[in-house]
Amino acid sequence: MTVASHLAALDGALLGPRRIRRCMIAEARAGLHDAVDAYRDGGVSAERAEELAVRDFGTVGEVAPSYQAELTARQGRTAAVLYAIVFPTMLFGWDLLWSTGAVTWPRGPAPHLVTALAGLQDVVTVVVAVAAITLLAVTFRRSVPPERLTVAIGLTGAIGAPLCGGISIAMNLVAARSTAHLIMTSPAAAAAFATSALVLVVLIWQSVRTLRVARAAQAH
């Protein structure tokens, strides 16, 4: 087996952030080429040197679990950073829009149900943000197994994002005419709604991905 085909097989067995995965494979390639050179310096043929270097490296079954554990930990940390930034930003962003008057309620005071949902939204967002920041801090502890931590981080997003999104949608359905009016008349409000929807999609996508990567680690 050649270095290239062995690394391709390893790469194929891994799931996780592409940038770090490529970086780790590139590092393994450099190391394997060093090992091939060392064998060749010892008088072994090029073909045999590759075989021996690949044998020393270990089979995909032997090394993939450690690679996947690392990728899973990185995916977890990336997702935790994303949640720790995005959830508080969404909370303060919308507060800023309302408090500065950039977005205002079209006709009179907001209905009670909308106010109540907005309050619930704030509470849920704060809880999710605190959970994300706590889990992010835990990723710096070496003693915590990355697979379970990444599952916890993925679940935080997988529950938090649809919950916040659902509350927002409910809030806007309750006052559908006001929302429609806001979007039609205020470019700032339209931009804020579009950004929020996009952020929600990114959050859900990232959460699903994080849970998939965590599951890949458990499968190894």
Binding footprint of another protein on the chain (CB under 8 A): 10, 20, 23-24, 26-28, 30-31, 33-35, 38, 56-59, 62-63, 66-67, 69-70, 73-74, 77, 140, 142
Compute φ and ψ for 17, nearest 5 degrees: -55, 125
Residue whose CB is less far from another protein, 60 or 127: 60
35 versus 135: smaller Cβ distance to another protein = 35
Give the separation between CA 30 and CA 46, rounded to whole angstroms: 16
Contact 61, 219 (CB under 8 A): no
What's the closest the beta carbon of residue 207 comes to another protein, in angstroms? 21
Minimum distance, C-beta of residue 78 to another protein, in the bound complex (Å): 12
Q: Comparing C-alpha atoms, which of 196, 214, 207 is closest to residue 156?
A: 207
> In 42-145, which residue ranges form alpha helices assigned H by DSSP?
46-57, 60-100, 112-138
Cα 131 → chain centroid: 15
The smaller minimum CB distance to another protein, of residues 51 and 121, is found at 51
Q: Shortest approach of another protein to residue 163 CB, angstroms?
A: 30
Smallest gap from residue 34 Cβ to another protein (A): 4
Per-residue tokens: 214: 């965590």
Of 29 and 181, the one with the shorter C-beta distance to another protein is 29
